[in-house]
Structure 1
Amino acid sequence: MLYPELFASLEKARWDLETDIPWSSFEADKLSDEQAMTIKMNAITEWSALPATEMFLRDNRDDSDFSAFMSIWFYEEQKHALVLMEYLRRFRPDLCPTEEELHKVRFEFDPAPKLETLMLHFCGEVRLTQWYRRASEWHTEPVIKFIYETISRDEARHGGAYLKYMKKAIEIDGNEAKRAFTKIGVLMASSGRASKPLHPTNLHVNESLFPNDTIQSRLPNPEWLEHWLDHQIDFNKDCEARVVGGILRNLSSLFDQQFENVQQLNLYRKSLNKAASAE
Structure 2
Amino acid sequence: MLYPELFRTLESARWNMAEDIPWSDFDPALLTDEQAVTIKMNAITEWSALPATEMFLRDNSTDSDFAAFMSIWFYEEQKHSLVLMEYLRRFRPELQPTEAELDAVRFEFDPAPPLETLMLHFCGEVRLTQWYRRAAEWHTEPVIKNIYDHISRDEARHGGAYLKYMKRAIERSGDEARRAFAKLGVLMANSSRSARPLHPTNLHVAQQFFPRDTVQSRVPDPDWLEHWLDTQIDFDRDCEARVVGGILRNLSSLFGQKFDTVSELNRYRKSLA
* TM-score where L is the length of structure 1: 0.98
C-alpha offsets along residues 182-227 of structure 1, whole Å, 9 cap, x if unaligned?
0000000000111111100110000111001000000000000000
1-side partners of 2:203 and 2:143: how far apart? 31
1-side partners of 2:62 and 2:202: how far apart? 28
Counterparts of residues 101-116 of structure 1 (less than 5 Å): 101-116=101-116
Are residue 57 (structure 1) and residue 94 (structure 2) matched?
Answer: no
The number of residue pairs the alignment matches comes to: 273
2-side partners of 1:144 and 1:192: how far apart? 30
Q: CA RMSD in A?
A: 0.3
C-alpha offsets along residues 41-61 of structure 1, whole Å, 9 cap, x if unaligned?
000000000000000000000
2-side partners of 1:172 and 1:210: how far apart? 35
Could you say which residue in structure 2 is the equivalent of 1:72?
A: 72
Amino acid across the alignment from 2:154: D
Could you say which residue in structure 1 is the equivalent of 2:149?
A: 149
2-side partners of 1:213 and 1:244: how far apart? 26
C-alpha offsets along residues 229-279 of structure 1, whole Å, 9 cap, x if unaligned?
000000000000000000000000000100000000000000001xxxxxx
2-side partners of 1:264 and 1:223: how far apart? 33
Could you say which residue in structure 1 is the equivalent of 2:254?
A: 254
Are residue 197 (structure 1) and residue 197 (structure 2) matched?
Answer: yes
Amino acid across the alignment from 2:19: T
2-side partners of 1:196 and 1:106: how far apart? 21
1-side partners of 2:180 and 2:187: how far apart? 11
1-side partners of 2:87 and 2:212: how far apart? 29
C-alpha offsets along residues 121-172 of structure 1, whole Å, 9 cap, x if unaligned?
0000000000000000000000000000000000000000000000000000
2-side partners of 1:60 and 1:2: how far apart? 15
Could you say which residue in structure 2 is the equivalent of 1:87?
A: 87
Counting aligned pairs with the same residue, the percent is 78
2-side partners of 1:63 and 1:195: how far apart? 35
Counterparts of residues 170-209 of structure 1 (less than 5 Å): 170-209=170-209
1-side partners of 2:256 and 2:262: how far apart? 16
Could you say which residue in structure 1 is the equivalent of 2:117?
A: 117
2-side partners of 1:99 and 1:6: how far apart? 32
Could you say which residue in structure 2 is the equivalent of 1:126?
A: 126
SS of the residue corresponding to residue 258 of structure 1 reads: coil
Counterparts of residues 208-227 of structure 1 (less than 5 Å): 208-227=208-227
2-side partners of 1:207 and 1:197: how far apart? 20
SS of the residue corresponding to residue 85 of structure 1 reads: helix
How far off its partner does 1:40 sit? Answer: 0.1
Amino acid across the alignment from 2:238: D
1-side partners of 2:47 and 2:153: how far apart? 18
Could you say which residue in structure 1 is the equivalent of 2:241?
A: 241
1-side partners of 2:180 and 2:168: how far apart? 14
Amino acid across the alignment from 1:241: A
Amino acid across the alignment from 2:207: E
Amino acid across the alignment from 1:35: Q
Could you say which residue in structure 2 is the equivalent of 1:47?
A: 47
Amino acid across the alignment from 2:59: D
2-side partners of 1:38 and 1:130: how far apart? 16
1-side partners of 2:208 and 2:40: how far apart? 28
2-side partners of 1:162 and 1:271: how far apart? 25
- 5+ residue gaps, structure 2, are none
Could you say which residue in structure 2 is the equivalent of 1:277?
A: none
1-side partners of 2:7 and 2:224: how far apart? 34
Could you say which residue in structure 2 is the equivalent of 1:13?
A: 13
Q: Which runs of 4+ in 1 moved over 6 A?
A: none
Are residue 164 (structure 1) and residue 164 (structure 2) matched?
Answer: yes
Amino acid across the alignment from 1:188: M
